Chain A
Amino acid sequence: DTGVSQDPRHKITKRGQNVTFRCDPISEHNRLYWYRQTLGQGPEFLTYFQNEAQLEKSRLLSDRFSAERPKGSFSTLEIQRTEQGDSAMYLCASSRSGRAGYEQYFGPGTRLTVT
């Protein structure tokens, strides 16, 4: 059972550029989550998919952020017109749903640095 994978692991970009991150969940997990984490804070929820449907999106998330999970498998998170405040670790997690247990397992994260 392979874990959650994320790509790239590190991304350095200049302010104003667009970036896209990919997440591959654990294969039998139908739920996928995106979080953002900065130093000294717990993970901040960004958005959540069940299968291919995006069911929840944080109100804190600006319109510059968009996420997709087109076939209910991998997901992408895009940030347009990056700002220095977007520098953070972007975390993806996956889980089952229902009685099978819904513990969330995290990938290794993508560290974004906006210069």
Chain B
Amino acid sequence: QKEVEQNSGPLSVPEGAIASLNCTYSDRGSQSFFWYRQYSGKSPELIMFIYSNGDKEDGRFTAQLNKASQYVSLLIRDSQPSDSATYLCAVSPAGNNRKLIWGLGTSLAVNP
């Protein structure tokens, strides 16, 4: 059973701080990793994707991938109250880039 695990939270950070969200996966051969943001009652919005080991930065977001340790993380710098949402980690299993295995999400609350 391929799994993706995230802490459910809630993760609470003050405005302006760095929020760190983590995700571990069980399929060692996984190739593609995605972070989605989902506001309550809305659909998931793709905010980051990463395919290679290391860091990938896009604005205030940084995705970090460590395939040896089988984890991927998302850092949000200068957190804003508008970042308060559930963050879903999704992973494509080995040899299947059309399929996504989803975590249950981490709830983030950014306090003004």
Contact = CB atoms under 8 A, between A and B. Distances in A.
A108 B88 contact: no
Interface residues on A, range: 20 to 34
B17 interface: no
Interface string B32-69: 10101000001111100100000000000000000000
Nearest to B36: A106
A89 interface: yes
Contacts of B11: none
Interface of A: 31, 33, 40-43, 45, 48, 50, 55-56, 89, 91, 95, 97, 102-109
Contacts of B46: 103-106
Nearest to A95: B98
Given A31-B98, A102-B32, A103-B49, A43 B104 contact: no
A91 B43 contact: yes
B104 A40 contact: yes
Contact of B43 (A42, A45, A48, A108): A108
Contacts of B34: 103-104
A31 to B, nearest CB: 6
B20 interface: no
Nearest to A31: B98
B32 A43 contact: no
A43 B102 contact: yes
B99 A45 contact: yes
B98 A97 contact: yes
A33 B92 CA distance: 14
A56 B100 CA distance: 13
B26 interface: no
A50 B96 CA distance: 13
A5 to B, nearest CB: 11
Contacts of B44: 43, 91, 106
Given A42-B90, A43-B102, A56-B98, 20 more contacts: A42-B88, A42-B104, A43-B44, A43-B88, A45-B99, A45-B100, A48-B98, A56-B99, A95-B98, A97-B98, A102-B92, A102-B97, A103-B49, A104-B46, A106-B36, A106-B43, A106-B45, A106-B46, A108-B42, A109-B43
